[in-house]
Each structure stands twice: as structure tokens, then as C-alpha cells.
Structure 1
Amino acid sequence: MFWERLTEICLEKGISPNGLCKAIGLSNATATKWKNGSIPNNSTLLKISNKLGVSIDYLLGKTDIKEKAPALSEEDGDIADGINRYLEILERQEALMFDGEPLDDESKELLLISLKNTMELAKKMKERKKSGLLDNK
């Protein structure tokens, strides 16, 4: 599954698997290993994911959702929008990675709860600030 997904995305991005290997500092022999069924380690998967702009889970065939979780930037303006995008992705993807390691269901649920609680706390703080109960500093 990995090789099929990799070649599909490389074709879409206009880069060969060998070109991808070169771009992320690997030899052409590495692409041949992948073609023969080898799966990259977590560090290499992360490099591939970043270079091609797709999720690791998509590359491994664990989901059909190509896009990576969106990165928050200063241009996002409203952090609530960014958190909501993360929540959507967490809720719809079955297999996720966190810091290069697979995220089990319990950890995924705890992460969802934590993000939702953070959103609720931010909303309450905003309301308190509006009503003058919280210092605007």
C-alpha cells in the first residue's frame, strides 16, 4: 500500500520517487527498497509527509484523507478556527501519529477532550473579559 500511495502522490506533485529520495537526503536504492515492499522508519515517513504535503496515515493506507493537519500560523488570525480544524481531523481519522509514534484510541480521545476543554476555557475567558470580570492585560 505504501508504494502505491507514494507513487500516486509523487505523480500528482510532479516528482519521481527517486527525486523525492534525493530531495530528502536518501539514496535511489531506498526507493527500490520501498518498491519491493519495505516501509520507511518514522523519521523518514515524517520527511516524506512534509515534502509531499500529505499525512503519514494516508501514505501507510490507514486513511483516505490526504491532507495533513493544518499548521497554525500568525496569518490564521483566529486560533479557534485552527483548533476546530484539528478537532475535525482528529474525529475523522482512524489512525494518527503523534511525535512520530502511533496514537492509540485512548490517547486520541484524551487529546480530543483536552482540545475541547481548551476551547471552552478560551470562550469563558473571552466572555469574562467582555463583561469586565477579567483584566484585559
Structure 2
Amino acid sequence: MTLFDRTKEIIKKRGMSVSEVERKAGLSENYLYTWKKSDNPRKKSIESVAKVLGVSVDYLLGKEEKATNKDYDGEVEEALNSARMYQGKPISDAQRETIKGIVKAYLDAQDKDK
């Protein structure tokens, strides 16, 4: 599987679009499609895409077989920070930890199913 194929596959698993990943990674429009023909994409670009997708560079390059959600911790925290209230009441620290655990378990299960 090529770098582009692996990238496109994980984009689909994450429910994202190629253009969304390009935008979040700070890449130009249609940049990822150049990976179809390029044998040597920029390392910084691969790192940026891996970060957006929550996988390692080694996974994108085919050196690891399993994609992990380890980089989603920051995104989960960010989402919890934006959801400070529920039904007009602040979310407690205990509720935050419960929600974080549920989200992580869901993401881990999603990777195992694919």
C-alpha cells in the first residue's frame, strides 16, 4: 500500500475529507494527491498529516501495521474544554474524566473494527 493509499484510508476511517486534512495540516489544496506520484514527499508534510489524523509517521509510511489514537488525547481535551456546561451546570472533574474515558474507548474500538 502506498503512502497516499494509507493516508486516504485513515482519512476515511476518521470521517474526514482530503481537503479538510490538507487545511488542518497547513497544506495547499490537492497537495495530498501529489503523493500518488511522488517517491519523496516532504517530511514536514507527512508529520503534519500524521498529527491531524492521530497516527504515527511510521504508520503512514507503512512501517507500522496498526494505527493508534494516541494523538487524540489533545483533541479530546480540547473538546472537553469547549463543553464546560451541560444543561446549564458546569461539568465536574469526575464527569470530564468519565467522558474522556468513553471517547477514548470508542476511538480504540473503532480502530479494532476496521
Question: Scaled by the length of structure 2, what TM-score is found?
Answer: 0.53
User: C-alpha distance in 2, partners of 1:18/1:39?
Assistant: 21
Runs of 4+ in structure 1 over 4 Å off: 68-72
User: Cα distance, 1:29 vs. partner?
Assistant: 3.2
Say which structure, 1 or 2, has more relative contact order (CA 8 Å, 6+ apart): 2
User: C-alpha distance in 1, partners of 2:39/2:20?
Assistant: 18
The corresponding residue for 1:7 is 8
User: C-alpha distance in 2, partners of 1:39/1:20?
Assistant: 19
| Structure 2: 5+ residue stretches without partners | 74-114
The corresponding residue for 1:49 is 50
Q: Report the 3-state secondary structure (helix = DSSP H, G, I; strand = E; otherwise coil) of the residue aligned with 1:49.
A: helix
The corresponding residue for 2:21 is 20
Letter in 1 for 2:26: G
For the pair 1:37 / 2:38, whether they are aligned, the reply is: yes
Q: Report the 3-state secondary structure (helix = DSSP H, G, I; strand = E; otherwise coil) of the residue aligned with 1:28.
A: coil
User: C-alpha distance in 2, partners of 1:31/1:9?
Assistant: 13
Sequence identity (%): 29
User: C-alpha distance in 1, partners of 2:12/2:72?
Assistant: 24
Change (3 A) 1:71 1:14: closer
Question: Scaled by the length of structure 1, what TM-score is found?
Answer: 0.45
The corresponding residue for 1:108 is none
Change (3 A) 1:23 1:65: same
User: C-alpha distance in 2, partners of 1:14/1:70?
Assistant: 16
Contact persistence 1:58–1:65 (CA under 8 A): yes
Provide Cα deviations, 1:19-38, integer angstroms capped at 9, x if missing partner: 21111111113122113335
Provide Cα deviations, 1:18-68, integer angstroms capped at 9, x if missing partner: 221111111113122113335432211211111101111110011202126
**Aligned residue pairs: how many?**
73
CA RMSD of aligned residues (A): 2.6
User: C-alpha distance in 2, partners of 1:12/1:71?
Assistant: 14
Change (3 A) 1:67 1:33: same
User: C-alpha distance in 1, partners of 2:48/2:10?
Assistant: 14
